[in-house]
Amino acid sequence: METPQIDSARIAEVARGALSRGDIERRERVFTVSDLGVSYNGKPALEDVSLDVFRNTVTAFIGPSGCGKSTFIRCFNRMNDLIPGADVAGTVLYHGADLYGRNVDPVEIRRRIGMVFQKPNPFPKSIYDNIAFGPRVLGMKGDLDERVEGALRQAALWDEVKDRLKDGALGLSGGQQQRLCIARALAVEPDVILMDEPASALDPISTTRIEDLMHELKREYTIVIVTHNMQQAARVADMTAFFSVVVAEDGSARRGVLVEYDTTTKIFTTPSDKRTEDYVTGRFG
Amino acid sequence: MTSVELQQETTRRSRAWKNRLFLGVMLFSMFVAFGTLAVLLVDTIVTGWPAISWQILSSLPSSVPGEAGARPAILATLYLGLIVLVLSVPIGVLTAIYLEEYANRSRWWNKLIEVNIQNLAAVPSIVYGILGLAFIVRGIGVGRVVFAGGLILTLVVLPTVVVASREAIRSVPDSIRQGAFALGATKWQVVWRQVLPAAIPGMATGSILALSRAVGETAPLLMVGAVVYVPFNPTLFGQYTALPVQIYNWTKQPDAEFQTLAAAGAIVLLVIVLSMNAVAIFLRNRYRRQW
């Protein structure tokens, strides 16, 4: 049996600007997840996940379809609350406070922990109104025009849309729409940005732009990203968590588990679990 | 070898024939639907055209065909339409929002409401007329007035408005709601600022079509006492007749000239209803969205 080949180009990608484990772990813990499990209508979808997310880093969740990585990311802003029958067990601490505590308002959480979805979902309104929606509903003070411009600049979209802010957002290209959605999330001054496969519906050039953006944004924000694309995780993430699917012995139930969580360099070069190695070397999934 | 080719040729011909046959059946169905409508329209217009004049719009009804008009009936029909609009749209839209956005579908009472709304839309309008007579006209003693008629017609079209509004709300993709929630919007803000504006064109179209149905209704109004002869302008709480009732009444008159008047009245009613439908179609096309 041949030894797994780890692509040297990938190592080079990983090495680019990679932080050491020590560097990362000295940072503040934004999220501390312990023994988290999610079930839908009593059927477990994800079990026993414990990990920390560090400030001003990009943390990637990778794994095959059905491994629960999208379910997991939606625990961080309590979007699972919106799904009837979804139940979250275990704890998620956000800067030390329990996200699922009794007196916690999910609405307040979501303004601090923004989210960008897999498919660009601009509102059927003008570009300006898309960005202004968040500040408006939250009653944020200050000049709205400035806020809109600032958010669009941060999302590297300002130059492309500054002359047509009143035009409908649905007329933008897919990549522009996704950057608009990122700008929309930034406009409410979040602390964390969750991205659920943000580039999976985009062409390679748009994907590159989104990835460059993540490198920029992590200076100010903490970013958590779910991705199908391992190269993307290798390019953008400081920390990577690999999830896998466990099938019950009788084949009836499938649930996601966290296999390995470490620095991206470690995950892609010297993973400690055989399943991670098989996945990142392309033998599986 | 030859037999194989022959068989293929036969199959091919049979398939082509079926193709043409089906097209023919569809064309015939379309002809039945639209041909009947066209004949009806042409016949009405030809019969009623001589009586189309300022008089039918402006005069009061009379036993002399040459002097008779339908002003009170036209006005009452417009009032009825207005009452239905003002009552059925807010109630219908709010009901639809509750059912689509707030109701927990696993609860038995919400399921019951769902089934009932579907059924109510299919109840014959005369049944609403009887209900209205018993509970509104006599029960709470509103009397045989325009307002009572408007209430009954509201009941008749309410299920339709609810169903159409629910369709419109359901057609707003969930990704819009999720995007708004993810920004920290409350449920109310998501519904009011995102879902509702996106659903308005669909709701408006459905409501106007329901309204044009209300304007053409006759049976429940006969039941709740639209009076046949009203020689004065209607008021909200006064006696009234409606245009369809007036038309019905004219057709019952033995004098042939009244038949012409009835046809002319039908033309006026058609113009009212078709212009409402035109507004609905305009709204639908103007605000059609691609998600």
Q: Check residue A12 and give its pLDDT.
A: 55
Q: Could you tell me if residue B264 is inside a domain?
A: yes
CB contact under 8 A, A137 and B289: no
Helices (H), chain B: 2-48, 54-58, 71-97, 108-120, 125-132, 146-170, 174-182, 187-190, 196-216, 219-223, 243-252, 256-286
Tell me: do B63 and B19 sit in the same domain: no
Is residue B179 situated within a structural domain? Answer: yes
Whether residues B67 and B47 fall in one domain: no
Check whether residue B144 and residue B171 sit in a common domain: yes
Residue range A75-91: mean pLDDT, rounded: 91
Pick among B183, B196, B289, B291 to test the A interface (most A CBs inside 10 A):
B183
| B32 and B145 part of one domain | no
Within this chain, do residues B171 and B200 fall inside the same structural domain, yes or no? yes
Strands A254-263 and A43-54: parallel
Q: Six-digit token pair at B130?
A: 């009887």
Residue B35 has pLDDT above 90, yes or no: yes
Task: Check if B288 contacts A (Cβ < 8 Å).
Answer: no
Q: Please, which residues 63-122 of chain B have a Cβ atom closer than 8 Å to chain A?
A: 104, 106
- In this prediction the pTM is 0.81
Of A107, A117, A170, the CB nearest to B179: A117
pLDDT tens for residues A45-74?
999 999 999 999 999 999 988 888 999 999
Residues in Cβ contact with A54 at an 8 Å cutoff, skipping those fewer than 6 apart:
A24, A25, A27, A28, A29, A30, A222, A238, A239
Q: Output the CA angle B282-B287-B290, nearest 5 degrees.
A: 130
Number of domains observed in the structure of chain B: 2
Kindly state whether residues B160 and B37 are assigned to the same domain: no
In a domain, B3, yes or no: no
End-to-end CA distance of chain A: 19
Q: Are residues B121 and B172 in the same domain?
A: yes
Give exposure, A208-222, as e/b (b: 16+ Cβ within 10 Å): ebbbebbeebbeebb
- The verdict on B254 touching A (C-beta cutoff 8 Å) is no
Average pLDDT over residues B127-141: 85
Beta bridge partners of A141: none
User: Is the CB of A133 less than 8 angstroms away from the CB of B193?
Assistant: yes
Are A180 and A172 a contacting pair, CB within 8 Å? yes
From CA A138, how far away is CA A109, in angstroms rounded? 12
Identify whether the C-beta of residue B110 lies closer than 8 Å to the C-beta of residue B99.
yes
Instruction: Report B:197-216 residues touching A (Cβ under 8 A).
Output: 197-198
Same domain for B247 and B176: yes
Are B114 and B249 part of one and the same domain?
yes
Report d(CA B130, CA A222) in Å as an integer.
66
Whether residues B121 and B254 fall in one domain: yes
Residue B21 lies in a domain: yes
Same-domain status, B172 and B44? no
Do B39 and B138 belong to one domain? no
The CATH number of the structural domain formed by A8-280 is 3.40.50.300
Residue A196, amino acid: D
pLDDT in tens, B87-126: 999 999 999 999 999 988 778 888 888 888 888 888 888 8
Tell me, yes or no, whether B204 lies in a domain. Answer: yes
Cα separation, A54 vs B149, whole angstroms: 68
Supply the pLDDT for residue A190: 94
Q: How far is B211 from chain A, CA to nearest CA, in Å? A: 28
- What is the C-alpha to C-alpha distance for residues A91 and B75, in angstroms, rounded to an integer? 67
User: Whole-number mean pLDDT of chain B?
Assistant: 86
ipTM of the complex: 0.87
Roughly what angle, to the nearest 10 degrees, separates helices B256-286 and B196-216? 170
- For residue B72, what are the domain limits? 55-286
Tens digits of per-residue pLDDT, B230-280?
777 777 777 788 888 888 888 888 888 888 888 988 999 999 888 888 888
Residue B129 to residue B167: CA distance in whole angstroms: 27
Q: What is the pLDDT of residues A139-185, one digit of tens each?
A: 998 899 999 999 999 998 999 999 999 999 999 999 999 999 999 99
* Å between A36 CA and nearest CA of chain B: 21
> Is residue B120 included in any domain, yes or no?
yes
In a domain, B7, yes or no: no
**Does the residue B39 lie in any domain?**
yes
